[in-house]
Structure 1
Amino acid sequence: MKIHNNKRIFSSKKTNLYTLTILMAASFILASCKDTPLPLGNAAESSVATAENATAPVSFWVATDTHYLDKDLQDGGEAFQAYVNGGDGKILPYSDELMEALVYDAQQKKPEFLILSGDLTNNGEASSHKKLAEKLKRVEASGTDVYVIPGNHDLNNPWARSFKADKQIVAEHITPGDFTELYSDFGYNEAISRDKDSLSYLVQAAPGLYLLMIDSSQYANNESYGFPQTDGRILPSTLSWMDECAKLAAEKQASIITVMHHNLLSHTSMSVSGFKLNNSQETMKTLRKDGLNLVLSGHIHMQDIARDPDGTTDSRDTPVYDIATSAMAVNPHQYGEMSFDPVTRAVTYHTAAVDVEGWAKANGNTDPHLLAFKSYAEGVFAGQSYNKAMARLKDSTFSESEKQSMAKVMARLNVNYFAGTAANALDEIKSMPGYKLWMGMDGGFMSGYIQSMAEDKVLSNVSLDMVLTQPKSLSN
C-alpha cells in the first residue's frame, strides 16, 4: 500500500482542525521567526482551544449526482430542450445556478468539509469538470474542504455533448488521469493512502475521522462500447486495500465513513439492475470484517436510507447503513447535513435543500423561476412525472379522465418519493381515485413502480442517528 507521508495529515486549509502536536510545533516555529517570543499565556490558551477542537463535534455535508453542465455547452435551443424533456428530471437549464447556490450555502453555513460522491458532471464534459473545479476552489477558499470521487458519468464518457440550435455536438471528455489532476486539491493531494488500481483514496477529514473514498465506477471500456457503463463494482485488490485502510484507522483509534457512488444495499423493491454494486455481498463482508458500518452513496437519484440487517428478523450482526442521498440535480435539490462526534463516534444525518432563492436574492437575480425556485422546481418535476405517466397510459383502455387521475397520483407520489418523504403523504395519496386504478392494474412496470413507492418502511429516509463502529486491525 502506498503511503503518502509528505501529504497533510488533514487539511491545512482549516487550522482549527490541526492536532495538538502539530499546532504546538507550528507555534514554536512561528515564534522563533519573531523578534519577541509568544507570551506563555497565549500559547497555553491556544493549546487548550486546539485540544477542545480535537474533541468537538464537526459538521459536514454530503452531496451527490450534481450532474453539472457548463453553461457554455448549451444555447437553450431545440436540441437542448429535447434532451432535457427526454431526460430523467435533471434541471439542466439551471445547472450553473444550482451549483452557485450550493457554493453560496457553503460560504454562509461553513461546514467543515463537503463530500461529492460522484456523477459530478452531466456526461463527463471536460469544460464542465473544469468549471466545477473552479467553483469548488471557491468553496475551499471560504474554509470548507472538499473531497470528491468520480461516478459512472464522469470519465471516458463518449456521450459528452454540447448543444447548439437543433444539433448535439460531440464534446471533449476527460480521462482518469485528467480527473486526479483537475481535482487534485479535493482529496487526492491530501490522501493518506491511494489505491493503485482505482481512483480510491483514504483521507483524514477531521480529528478522529477518516473518509474511505471508493471509486466504484467502471469506465475502462466506455470508449470501445460507445456508451458509459453504468453498473458498479469494487475490485478485489481494492477490497484488500480497504483492509489496510481499516488497519491504519484502528492504529490511530479513528473512525471511518465509507463513500462510494454506487449503492451497497438495495433502495427499491423493484427488480432493477445497475444501482447496487455488482459485488455488494463481497463488499459487505469486507466492511463487516473491517468494522465499518456506514456508507454514503448516490447513483439512484432518490433519497433513501437502508440497513443490513433491516430489523425484520433477529440477527446479532451490527447494522450497516447505506444512505443514498438524492441527486442534487433533481428535485428537491438537496444534500445531507451531517455531524460527527469524535468522543462518542455518534453521527447524525438529515436532508437540507439548496437555498437557490437566497442565493438569487443575494446576487440581485431577477429571474422569477430562481426567486421562487422551490415551487418552480417541484412544478417542473411533477409535470415531467405527469407527462411520463400519460405517455405510458396512452394505449391503455382507461378513459381520458381516468388516465389524468392516475397521472396525478404518479406526479404526487414521485415528488415525495425522490425527496424521501413518501411516508408523510401516503394516506392522502392512497385516498386519491387514481391510486385505486393503479392498484387494479394487472402487472406492468408503472403499477409495480407505484406499489414500490407506496410501501411502508420502518426507517426514516431523511434523517438518521447512529454510532460508528471502531475499525478493526487485521492483527487483532
Structure 2
Amino acid sequence: MKVKLITTMLLTLSFLTITGCNNSLEADPPITESKGSRDLNLFVATDLHYLSPDLHDNGQAFQEYIKNGDSKLLNYSDPLADSFVNDVIHEKPDVVILSGDLTNNGEKKSHSELANKLKQIEQSGTSVYVIPGNHDILNPWARSFKTDGQYVTDYITPKEFTTIYNNFGYDEALSRDTDSLSYVAEISDDLWLLMLDTSKYDNNVILKIPQTDGEVSKETLDWIQENTRLAEEKRVNIITVMHHNLIDHSDVSSNGFTLNNHEEVLNVLKKSNISLVLSGHIHIQDIQSEKNVYDIATSAFGVYPHQYGTLHYSPNPSSIEYRTQMVDVEKWSEQEGIKNEDLLHFSSYARDFFYEDSYRKAYQSLDGQGYTEEERTEMATSMAKLNLLYFSGNSKEIGPTITNSKGIELWNKAKDQFLKSYVESMLNSSKENNHLTLSLNPTE
C-alpha cells in the first residue's frame, strides 16, 4: 500500500497533483489526398479535468470537494475550456492535441459537452486529436454535486469514448490498435502522431476506484513497431503522445505516474528512431530525457498556471520548438462581456488561489510536529512559494530570497519525512522546463 499512500499524499497536499477497437493495421493505408511537407503549428494540452457546470450548483458539497482536492479550479473549468477554444480559434494552429484526463472523473455529460467545444475548434479549421487518461473511462468516481451532497452520475465505456470523440482522431486514423484506444494520425506527408492509450481502466468498476498507473501491452508494442517500420519506409517523423510519463519527472515518487514498463517502451521508441514524447498526468511542467528521447510533461491545464504547450514543426531539417503559453481567460472574458472579477483578473486570481491552497495544506500538515506558530507560517510560506515556481516549470527562478529564508532553514533541519523530501526535490529542480528546441531524428 506504499504506492497508494504516496499517491494520496501527493493529491491531498497539492504539491505533486500530482484506457476495444476493431480496426487493425493495414499493410498499405488507403490512398488519401497529399497533406504535403510543410511547417506546422501544434498546441498540446493535458489534464483539462473538465466538469460540466450542469453537474454542480457551486454549493457546499462542491466547495468542500475543491477544498479537499488537488488545486484544480473546477468551479471555473467551463470558462477555462471556452478560453482555450477562443485562443485556438484566434491563433489558428494546424493541430490541437489533448493527452488525456479530459474530464474530472469521466462523467458522460462532461465528455459530451467537451466534445461540443472541440467541434468549434475543428469548424475553425484546426484538427483535434485526443486520447483518454486514467480519469476518463469506466470511472466509478463520476459524480455530480448538489447542495451538501455528492451523487453518482453516468460514466462512459471505451466504445462510448471512441463514439463521442470519433471526429477527433478515431475516424481518420491511419491505423488503430486492437488492444487499446491507441491510433496513428497523419498530420502531414512527413509527420505522424502516435497517440497511445496508456491507461488501465478494465478493472475500475470491480475495484470501485480508478487505477492511476499506466502501461503499454505487448500487443500494443508490437503494433507500435509495425507502424514505425511503415513510417521509416515512408520517411516520416513521429511524435508520440501518451497520458502517463515515459520518464520519471519527480525525485519523490514516480510510481503511478511513469509507465509501469517504461524501460521496455523507451527501448521500442528509441529503436524506432522516435525522439519526442508529449505526456501529462503528473500535473507539473517538466522536461526530462533518457537515451536521447525527450519526454515533455506539460502541466495540468486545470491547475495553475493553466497553460498549454505550443510546438512549431519545421520539416527541413526536421525539428520541433516547444514553448508554454498561459490560456488567456481575461481576453475571453472581455469579449464575452463577463462581469466576474475573478475571470477579468484571472492571472492574479489563479495564482493567489494556488498559493493560498498550497500554504493552507502545508500549514495544516505541520500541526502537532512541535513547531511554533511562527515556524509553521515560515515553512508554509516557503513551501507555497516553491510550489508556484515548481508547478509552472520555473524552478530555475528559485533565488536566495527563498533558499536563504527561515522557512527553508527549518525544512533543512526537519526530520526525514515526505514533505522534507518534496522540498528538497523542488530546490534541486533548477532547469529549463518551458522551452525546448529538438532536432527530430530523420528516417533516412
TM class by smaller structure = over 0.9
Correspondence 1:153-172 to 2 at 5 A: 153-172=135-154
Q: Distance in 2 between matches of 1:445 and 1:57?
A: 45
**Partners of 1:324 and 1:467 in 2: how far apart?**
18
* SS across alignment from 2:61: helix
Q: Tell me what 1:200 maps to.
A: 182
Residue in 1 that maps onto 2:281? 299
Q: Report the Cα distance in structure 1 between the residues aligned to 2:27 and 2:244, rounded to whole angstroms.
A: 27
Partner secondary structure for residue 399 of structure 2: helix
Alignment of 1:37-56 (within 5 A): 54-56=36-38
Q: Is the 8 A contact 1:348 1:463 kept in 2?
A: yes
The answer to whether 1:448 aligns with 2:421 is: yes
Alignment of 1:165-314 (within 5 A): 165-309=147-291
- Once the two structures are TM-superposed, the CA of residue 396 in structure 1 deviates from its matched residue by 1.4
Does structure 1 conserve the Cα–Cα contact (< 8 Å) formed by 2:92 and 2:126?
yes
Following the alignment from structure 1 to structure 2, what is the Cα–Cα distance between the partners of residues 369 and 404?
26
Contact map agreement 2:61 2:149 (CA 8 A) in 1 = yes
In the alignment, the residues of structure 2 paired with residue 62 and residue 2 of structure 1 have an alpha-carbon distance, to the nearest angstrom, of 26
**Partner residue of 1:462 out of 411, 415, 434:** 434
Q: Deviations over 1:298-337 (max 9, x none)?
A: 000000000014xxxxxxxxx1100000000000000001
* Equivalent in the alignment of 1:28: none
Amino acid at match of 2:402: I
Candidates 79, 99, 117, aligned match of 2:81: 99
Post-superposition shift, 1:449?
0.5
Aligned position for 2:301: 328
Give distance in 1, aligned partners of 2:236 and 2:346.
41
How far apart are residue 272 of structure 1 and its match?
Answer: 4.2
| Mapping 1:45-194, distance limit 5 Å | 54-194=36-176
Report deviation, 1:2.
2.7
Alignment of 1:343-422 (within 5 A): 343-422=316-395
Distance in structure 1 (CA, Å) of the matches to 2:290 and 2:395: 21
Q: 1:204 to 1:281 in 2, by over 3 A?
A: same
Q: Is contact 1:9-1:204 (8 Å) kept? A: no
Rounded to whole Å, the distance in 1 between the matches of 2:132 and 2:169 is 12
SS of the counterpart of 1:341? strand
- Contact persistence 1:302–1:324 (CA under 8 A): yes
2:25 is the alignment partner of 1:2: yes
Deviations 1:176-226 (A, max 9, x none): 000000000000011000000100000101231100000000000000000
1:68–1:99 Cα contact (<8 Å) kept: yes
Give ranges in structure 2 of 5+ residues lacking alignment.
Answer: 1-23
Q: 1:107 Cα shift?
A: 0.6
Structure 1 residue aligned with 2:14: none
- In 1: Cα distance, 2:53 partner to 2:94 partner: 29
Distance 2:260 2:196 in 1: 14
Conservation of the 8 A alpha-carbon contact between 1:7 and 1:191: no
Could you tell me how far 1:270 is from its partner in structure 2?
A: 1.1
Q: Do the aligned residues in 2 keep the contact of 1:194 with 1:201 (CA within 8 Å)? A: yes
Q: Distance in 2 between matches of 1:207 and 1:9?
A: 10
Residue deviations 1:378-416, cap 9 Å, x none?
100000000010111111111101110111111111011
Q: Residue 426 in 1 paired to residue 402 in 2?
A: no
Q: Distance in 2 between matches of 1:272 and 1:257?
A: 23
Q: Structure 1 80/346 Cα, relative in aligned 2: closer, same or farther at 3 Å?
A: same
Count of residues in correspondence between the two structures: 421
Distance in 2 of aligned mates of 1:129 and 1:280 = 29
3-state SS, counterpart of residue 181 of structure 1: helix
The answer for the alignment partner of 1:44 in structure 2 is none
Q: Distance in 2 between matches of 1:99 and 1:343?
A: 34
Query: CA, structure 1 residues 439+352, in 2 after alignment: closer, same or farther (shift >3 Å)?
Result: same
Residue 236 of structure 1 aligns with an amino acid whose one-letter code is K
Task: Check 1:8–1:227 CA distance in 2 against 1; reply closer, same or farther (3 A cut).
Answer: farther
Structure 1 runs of 4+ aligned residues shifted over 4 Å read 4-10
Cα distance in structure 2, aligned partners of 1:322 and 1:228: 24
SS class of match (1:321): strand
User: Any conservation in 2 of the 1:9–1:192 contact (CA below 8 Å)?
Assistant: no
Amino acid at match of 1:470: P
Q: Secondary structure at the match of 2:315?
A: coil
1:13 paired residue number: none
Distance change >3 Å, CA 131–CA 4, structure 1 → 2: farther
Amino acid at match of 2:352: G
Q: CA deviation at 1:426?
A: 3.4
**Normalising to structure 2: TM-score of the pair?**
0.93
Q: TM-score, normalization: structure 1? A: 0.86
Aligned residue for 2:9? none
Contact 2:398 2:427 in 1 (8 A): no
Q: CA deviation at 1:471?
A: 4.6
Q: Does 1:341 align with 2:314?
A: yes
Displacement after TM superposition at 1:4 (Å): 9.6
**What is the alpha-carbon distance in structure 2 between the residues aligned to residue 175 and residue 292 of structure 1?**
31
Deviation for aligned residue 1:6: 7.9
1:469 maps to amino acid: N
Structure whose CA Rg is larger = 1
**What percentage of residue pairs aligned between the two structures are identical?**
47
The SS at the match of 1:271 is: coil
Does 132-141 or 198-207 show the bigger shift?
Answer: 198-207
For 1:194, the aligned partner's letter is R
